[in-house]
């Protein structure tokens, strides 16, 4: 589960990036923390993986990680997918830091598409990988205009989009990357996490950092900051719910993935957060298809 710290690879600076670059990124992070939800430009570097695979998140992690940190990386909630494994290995190799799959043991969690089910603490930092940082992008193609809209807090068009969804589908249909207002001021994209995770961002004790490598933007939600999901008074924000519990651990309050098990319509619902699911099973919670049932 947890890999101890090791000797980093020789020939690389600690955590891959050079010290000047890390300082530049840290300055942007500080500014981002000072203005919650506001996008700060930074000089994004070429990283040894393609855009869209988490170059922004990696650069943020590289510039905040220290020798004593323990890193956890998740992708869609899972610790064992390609993206998560390779980023974890990357930092184990270039920084020699300890890595873990346990949310509670991590000091830094880098994530794509999920927030862990286990509540985060004040001693943790969560780093999100962000593909498109600008929440107004599909409403207003001009960058100059979107900046002006942020400056003047003209966020009406975002609600127009929600209106449009209610008119069309009878409900707010957005289910991921659901727009939020941070600290009562800036409209922010929470990255493509399911809206199920939006309430976890609100008043979270952990520092939340967002890095977009291709778009060269960093933004942040400081600990204990209000994060409100947009809605209408008569169509309030609500999260997804399932009729099933997790087939493996029996959890009824975590985000479930639907897994197709055969070509005859067989399927199962399991926690997308693999660590959370494993912990529950180790503590003796099982669902209909959990290990005990299988034995």
The residues assigned a catalytic role are 37, 246, 249, 271, 277
Strands 186-188 and 180-182: antiparallel
**CA proximity to 103, closest of 91, 88, 95, 115:** 115
**Identified binder of another protein from the candidate list 233, 243, 262, 282, rule CB under 8 A:** 233
Asked if residue 284 binds another protein (CB under 8 A), the reply is no
What are the residues whose beta carbons fall under 8 Å from the beta carbon of 174, sequence distance 6 or more? Answer: 162, 165, 195
Give residues 52-111 in contact with another protein (rule: CB under 8 A).
none
Asked if residue 12 binds another protein (CB under 8 A), the reply is no
> What span, in angstroms and rounded, lies between the C-alpha atoms of 24 and 28?
7
Taking CB under 8 A as the binding criterion, the range among 8-16, 71-79, 227-235, 253-261 that sits at the site for another protein is 227-235
Asked if residue 234 binds another protein (CB under 8 A), the reply is yes
Size of the site for another protein (CB under 8 A): 17
Q: What is the closest distance, in whole angstroms, from the C-beta atom of residue 242 to another protein in the complex?
A: 26
Taking CB under 8 A as the binding criterion, the range among 93-101, 119-127, 219-227, 228-236 that sits at the site for another protein is 228-236
Q: What is the closest distance, in whole angstroms, from the C-beta atom of residue 160 to another protein in the complex?
A: 5
Q: Which residues pair with 176 in a beta bridge?
A: 194
Helices marked H in the chain — which ranges? 19-34, 55-64, 82-94, 143-151, 156-169, 198-201, 274-282, 291-294
Give the dihedral sign, CA 201/203/207/213: positive
Asked if residue 152 binds another protein (CB under 8 A), the reply is yes
Neighbours of 243 (CB within 10 A): 6
**Identified binder of another protein from the candidate list 11, 20, 68, 168, rule CB under 8 A:** 168
Interface residue list for another protein (CB under 8 A)? 148, 152, 154, 156-157, 159-161, 163-164, 166-168, 232-235
């Amino acid at each position: 589960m947890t890999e101890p710290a090791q000797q980093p690879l020789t020939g690389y600076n600690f955590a891959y990036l050079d010290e000047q670059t890390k300082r530049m990124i840290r300055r942007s992070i500080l500014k981002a923390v000072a203005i919650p939800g506001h996008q700060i430009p930074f000089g994004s570097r070429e990283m040894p993986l393609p855009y869209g695979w988490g170059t922004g998140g990696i650069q943020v992690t590289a510039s905040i990680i220290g020798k004593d940190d323990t890193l956890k990386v998740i992708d869609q909630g899972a610790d064992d997918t390609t993206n998560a494994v390779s980023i974890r290995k990357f930092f184990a190799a270039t920084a020699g830091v300890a890595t873990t799959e346990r949310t509670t043991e991590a000091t830094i969690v880098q994530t794509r598409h999920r927030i862990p089910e286990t509540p985060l603490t004040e001693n943790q930092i969560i780093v999100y990988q962000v593909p498109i940082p600008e929440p107004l992008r599909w409403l207003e193609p001009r960058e100059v205009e979107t900046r002006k809209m942020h400056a003047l807090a003209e966020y009406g068009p975002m609600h127009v989009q929600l209106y449009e969804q209610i008119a069309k589908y009878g409900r707010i249909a957005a289910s991921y990357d659901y727009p939020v207002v941070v600290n009562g001021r800036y409209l922010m994209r929470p990255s493509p996490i399911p809206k199920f995770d939006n309430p976890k961002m609100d008043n979270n004790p952990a520092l939340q950092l967002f890095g977009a490598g291709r778009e060269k933007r960093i933004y942040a939600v400081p600990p204990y900051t209000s994060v409100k999901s947009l809605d209408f008074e008569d169509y309030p924000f609500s999260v997804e719910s399932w009729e099933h519990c997790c087939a493996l651990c029996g959890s009824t309050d975590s985000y479930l993935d639907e897994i197709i098990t055969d070509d005859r319509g067989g399927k199962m619902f399991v926690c997308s957060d693999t660590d959370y699911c494993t912990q529950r099973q180790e503590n003796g919670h099982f669902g209909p298809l959990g290990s005990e049932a299988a034995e």
